[in-house]
Amino acid sequence: MSDTAVAFTKSEMMIVAAARELAGQRVCFVGVGLPNIAVNLAKRTVAPEMELVYEAGVFGARPARLPLSIGDPTIVTGATAVTSMFELFTFYLQGGLIDVGFLGAAQIDRFGNINTTVIGDYDDPTTRLPGSGGACEIAINARQVFVIMRQSRRSFVDSIDFRTSPGNLGGAVNAAQIRREQGWLGRGPSVVVTDLGIYHFDDDGEMRLDSLHPGATLDEARATIGWDLRLAPSVETTPPPTADELALIRDELDPGGAYTT
C-alpha cells in the first residue's frame, strides 16, 4: 500500500486516530484546541452526518475552514441553528442531546478525571490554566466523553491538582453509583487519544492501552505516564494516517501547522 510510505508527525497521527474514534457518532460537542481539528477531520472523513455543536451557541455547524477559535464566524454561516448560550447549555447539553463531548486536558488521572484549572495550589498557583469553560458540565451531561491530549509525566499524573471535570472518580463502581444518585446523563470518559496511543476504560473504570501508534513503543508510553499502566490483553498497532487524511489536515484544516507542529 503506497499510503504507508507517507511520512507523518505524532500530532497528525493523534488527530487522525481521534477523528476515527468518532465513526458512527451523531451529535458531538466540540471543545477548544485539539478536539476542534479532530472533530472537523471526522466530519470530512468517517462521520459526514455528524452534527457539530459549539458552546458558542451553534448546532449543526459546517465550518468552511478550520476555526482557530471555537467562536469563529465560519461556524455560523451555513449552520442549522444559532442559539443563545443559555439554550445551548440548557436544552441541548443539559437536555441530553449530546452523544459525545470532546475535550482536551492539561492533567488527567487513571480514571479520566481532568484538570484544566491550575497546577499547584488553587489560591497560590504555580501555573494558572484556563479553567472549566463548558468542560465541567459537558463531562457530566454529554452521554460519553472523548479526550485528546499529548502524553507526558506532567499531564498523565497519579493525582491531579484540581478536579475541573469529573471522570470515573475513584473507580467505575463508585462513579456509576454517584452518577445514578445525582442524575448525571453521562456515563463518563470512554476514550483517550494521545500522540502515542489509544486508551479505553476497563471494567474498573481505569485507562487501558489498547493501541500504540506506529513508531511508539510500550516503554515510551510507560515512561510518560505517572502510574502503573494497564494494557489490553493484546495491544494493537494503530493503522497509520492515509494519504487522504494527511492531505485534509495539511491542505485544508491546518495549512499553517497551528495544531500539528
Contacting positions for another protein (CB under 8 A): 32-33, 36, 55-58, 67-73, 76-78, 82-86, 89-90, 93-94, 117, 120, 122, 124-137, 140-141, 162-166, 169, 178, 181-185, 258
Query: Based on CB atoms, which residue is closest to another protein, 223 or 258?
Result: 258
Which among 116, 107, 108, 101 has a CA at the least distance from the CA of 187?
Answer: 101
Both ends of the chain: CA-CA distance in Å?
Answer: 26
Query: Based on CB atoms, which residue is closest to another protein, 34 or 229?
Result: 34
Which among 42, 74, 46 has a CA at the least distance from the CA of 61?
Answer: 74
Residue 55 is a catalytic residue: yes
How near is the Cβ of 261 to another protein at its closest, in Å? 14
How near is the Cβ of 199 to another protein at its closest, in Å? 21
Q: Give the span between the Cα atoms of 90 and 156, in whole angstroms.
A: 32
Give the strand pairing for 81-82 and 100-103.
unpaired
Note whether 40 and 253 are within 8 A (CB). yes
User: Which residue is catalytic, options 55, 137, 206, 245?
Assistant: 55
Query: Based on CB atoms, which residue is closest to another protein, 169 or 198?
Result: 169
Quickly list DSSP for 72-113. -GGGTTT-SEE--HHHIIIIIIITT--SEEEE--SEE-TT--
How near is the Cβ of 238 to another protein at its closest, in Å? 26
Query: Based on CB atoms, which residue is closest to another protein, 52 or 70?
Result: 70
Helices (H), the chain: 10-20, 34-44, 85-87, 135-141, 172-182, 218-223, 243-247
Residue type (1 letter), 151: Q
How near is the Cβ of 130 to another protein at its closest, in Å? 4
Count CB-CB contacts under 10 A for residue 187: 16
Give SS3 for 138. helix
How near is the Cβ of 25 to another protein at its closest, in Å? 22
Query: Based on CB atoms, which residue is closest to another protein, 184 or 227?
Result: 184
**Catalytic residue ranges:** 55
